[in-house]
């Protein structure tokens, strides 16, 4: 059955940062499988080359470009080289991100800079470098990978949550500024997702029990669960959507999940708050 053109990304030139593994890799593979020309970026050349080779297919070769998004000069040079090679960038997916879990008073300047330089500073300058060309073309799509932490932060990840809140606001600000040029800027906010980096955390029985209790759909998210939303946001089907954050969390942000069943002795009363 042919692809419905309303949801097609075939022929798009798509740049995905932080795509060597995890969510970024899944999103890049999703676009490549649907006929887009995909460029992936990352800091480690070995893993980047390996990922590009593994997700290339169906006549589309995924192009790897080694770049540290925390360095605006490097990202600006990358964008210019990609424009020279491919002629345009139709969709940018900002997926590069890092996290370090500490008490707020224990963050030092180096760790603070490490997180914010990648999560927000890097995303901003990569986006503006791409955005200049999108403005000239009077079209384009930008998808930022946010987090449920921009809505409801978890304890001991204050700097990460702050950076994601900034990314959410960047999404709205650029949607306002660039809308008149035909550029749409949106974000997705993954919930608890099983990636290589987080696998050890969710192998802890106590953490897994807590996650299940706070996820209405029960199961943990997979990187592949983020693909559909990104394809949709990049497709003609989302042509009137901009400035939005779509949280993909299995329902975690639906409300507070307190540890009482309806038939428990404590259930008749409700706490005031």
Dist. CA 193–CA 104, nearest whole Å: 24
Which runs of consecutive H residues, i.e. helices, occur in 34-137? 45-55, 72-86, 109-116, 123-137
Q: Which of 65, 160, 240, 247 is catalytic?
A: 160
Tokens of 227: 């693909």
Q: Where are the beta strands (DSSP E) in 147-196?
A: 183-190
Give the CA distances from residue 235 to residues 36, 82, 113, 141, in Å, rounded to whole numbers and listed in that order. 11, 21, 35, 9
Give the CA distances from residue 199 to residues 74, 192, 204, in Å, rounded to whole numbers and listed in that order. 31, 11, 9
Residues in the chain: 273
Does the active-site annotation cover 156? no
Pairing of strands 63-66, 91-94: unpaired
- The answer to whether residues 246 and 189 touch, using CB atoms and an 8 Å cutoff, is yes
Pairing of strands 37-42, 91-94: unpaired
Active site residues: 160
């Amino acid at each position: 059955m042919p692809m419905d053109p309303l949801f097609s990304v075939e022929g798009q030139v798509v740049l995905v940062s932080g795509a060597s593994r995890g969510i970024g890799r899944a999103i890049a593979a999703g676009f490549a499988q649907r006929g887009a020309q995909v460029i992936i970026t990352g800091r480690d050349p070995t893993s980047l080359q390996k990922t590009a080779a593994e997700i290339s297919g169906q006549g589309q070769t995924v192009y790897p470009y080694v770049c540290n998004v925390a360095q605006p000069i490097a990202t600006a040079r990358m964008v210019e080289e990609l424009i020279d090679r491919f002629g345009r960038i139709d969709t940018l997916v900002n997926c590069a991100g890092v996290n370090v879990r500490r008490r707020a008073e224990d963050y030092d300047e180096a760790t603070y800079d490490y997180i914010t330089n990648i999560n927000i500073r890097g995303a901003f300058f990569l986006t503006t470098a791409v955005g200049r060309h999108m403005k000239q073309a009077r079209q384009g799509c930008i998808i930022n990978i946010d987090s449920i932490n921009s809505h409801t932060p978890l304890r001991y990840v204050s700097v990460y949550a702050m950076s994601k809140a900034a990314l959410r606001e960047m999404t709205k600000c650029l949607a306002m500024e660039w809308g008149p040029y035909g550029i749409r800027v949106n974000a997705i906010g993954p919930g608890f997702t099983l990636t290589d980096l987080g696998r050890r955390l969710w192998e802890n029985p106590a953490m897994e029990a807590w996650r299940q209790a706070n996820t209405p759909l029960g199961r943990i998210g997979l990187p592949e669960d983020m693909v559909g939303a990104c394809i949709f946001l990049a497709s003609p089907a989302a042509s009137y959507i901009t400035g939005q954050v779509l949280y993909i969390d299995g329902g975690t942000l639906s409300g507070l999940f307190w540890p009482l069943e309806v038939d428990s002795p404590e259930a008749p009363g409700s706490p005031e708050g």
